Structure 1
Amino acid sequence: MRIAIDAMGGDNAPHAQVESALSAAAEWPDTHLILVGDPEVLQPLLGPKAPSSITIESALEVIGSEDEPVKAVRRKTDSSMVVAGRLVKEGKADAMISAGNTGALMATGLLVVGRLKGIERPGLAAIFPTLDNVGILALDMGANMDAKPEHLVQYALMGSLYRNKVHGIREPRVGLLNVGTEASKGNELTKTAFEMLEQAPINFVGNVESRDVLERPCDILVCDGFSGNIMLKSIEGAASAIFTLLRGELMSTFTSKLAAGMLKPSFRRVRDKMDYNEYNGAPLLGINGLVVKGHGSSDAKAMKTAIRQTRTAIGNRLIAAIVDEFSGK
């Protein structure tokens, strides 16, 4: 399998991308990793003993976080993100991964790789850590700020296939993000979507409140991108604030410092359980190729997780399964 990596996108690029590629190549020598970016920057980081399973595809431009997505994709045709997308479009790579500008990646998926027939709005599917270590797949996490009820049904169908093919969950439970669990709760979007989801060929379990997400009341949580992105950042911010408060309290006195030393292994386990690095790699479902978004601040560990997730999706023919579902086969 061949995976193109946007080596210049993200806060820690290109070091994190190169380091993760070297680690992944050592663990999965059957995978051809294509680092897309400036060869003069990437080659010294790879070193003279880089494995033959890692190659460099030249791309001399970079789409930054401040670039206007659609305009950048159309104008920066030699950017690492666009070139990676083109490799997927032309069949020279089975998937691409980027930790760069989310909007630009969405535009790359639509304008360069292309949308799947039958899909109106692709959705960004991210895994949230949960208390039982299984995780919950939520989409859309920000690819589209607005959505129609039929879009949420498509997210539910694609999410169910992803959970089954990539994570091996049979008959995954689908929940609808809402302000209450009763069927009558919500706005016009969620009320209509509720009725449509009940009729869809999925295991729909009803409305889910955001306060219950970490307890995994369902395996797939569908929502519009505006609500999903707010939920994602709220949970990330709350987790960060809690750990900051704990660190401050535990370092405040001599006695608490002693206690902190004894509890350090326990706190490390809690931190690891909530670490996004363990769940990195959000596929843009609905694109005619496997396009995977890494967290913007992904380090080498997180990028390797994204590579692992991508390998699994390729191996289980995720895109082919979605094509079959929406083509009526």
Structure 2
Amino acid sequence: MKSGILAPAARPVAVKAESKWRKGLKKTWPLHLLILPATVIAVLFHYLPIIGLVMAFQDYKPWLGFFKSEWVGLQHFEALFLFDESVQVIWNTLIISVLKIVCGLFVPIVISLLLNEVRKNGIKRGIQTLVYLPHFLSWVILGGILIDLLSVKGGIVNRMLTDWFGIQPIFFLGDGDWFRFVVVVSDIWKEFGFAMIIYLAAIAGVNPALYEAAEVDGATRLQQTINVTLPAMMPIIVVVATLQLGNVLNAGFDQIFNLYNPLVYAKGDVIDTFVYRSAMLNGDFSFATAVGLFKSVISFVLIIVSYRLAYRFGNYRIF
């Protein structure tokens, strides 16, 4: 055999792998082309902005840029825990998000169990459609509707309270405690219908023979729900509850931004809206970046923990 000429059996593995890859690419190039726009958008809006995190460690000035701005290290992170306003914002975020998670887990479960007891398919589907609809409306639209409904002057809710019960008008969106209540209740109203889908799917997967056996044993509908339906739903409830742990610092920017005002900053301002005001309105880009980075790191850790818990207790895994 002459040097430089390889027998077919002696071809390098890399050449075979490359040839196989090219053949596969010829078949799947339309699929790669389809995901190209999404890939470009993800790179532009999710990965390139990561470069801007360097502002958290600088006294960033837009006219100086990243390279000439003064380096201050962890100064902004120290200020995050020294300022009373930023500490209060963290507490507001935790309170609102925990209330949303707890109520957002409990309400869909209860409503899905009640809806499961409806025997008329037409009524059942009609109710499902009605409760799904708010999920597809943006908070820009719903925020405007809520502001009109809850207005002190002329709002239908305050008019009903005054005319029917003789109660003085309540400033729902101007009082901190009432604002939190409105935020949690409106979020549950918007999302519980869509959250029910996974629970209704779990209920649909219950073996009908279990209900028949329970009925033969004399179990009532309530007893069947407690002893048959709920245990069948428990694995998915555990998974959903553990995965929600990663959202502890996400109180809902869109909702609060469209509803809040300076009167409720003390109890309604959350991390995301605080970052927006610090950067866009006050021009303190470095401090806002530090707050956002703090939230992102904590959320990343919580997401990892939640997925580990979901795998441990619910046997749920993505990969």
**Range into which the TM-score falls when normalised by the shorter chain:** under 0.3
How does the TM-score come out when normalised to structure 2?
0.25
| Structure (1 or 2) with the greater strand fraction | 1
How does the TM-score come out when normalised to structure 1?
0.25
Whose Rg is larger? 2
| Structure (1 or 2) with the greater helix fraction | 2
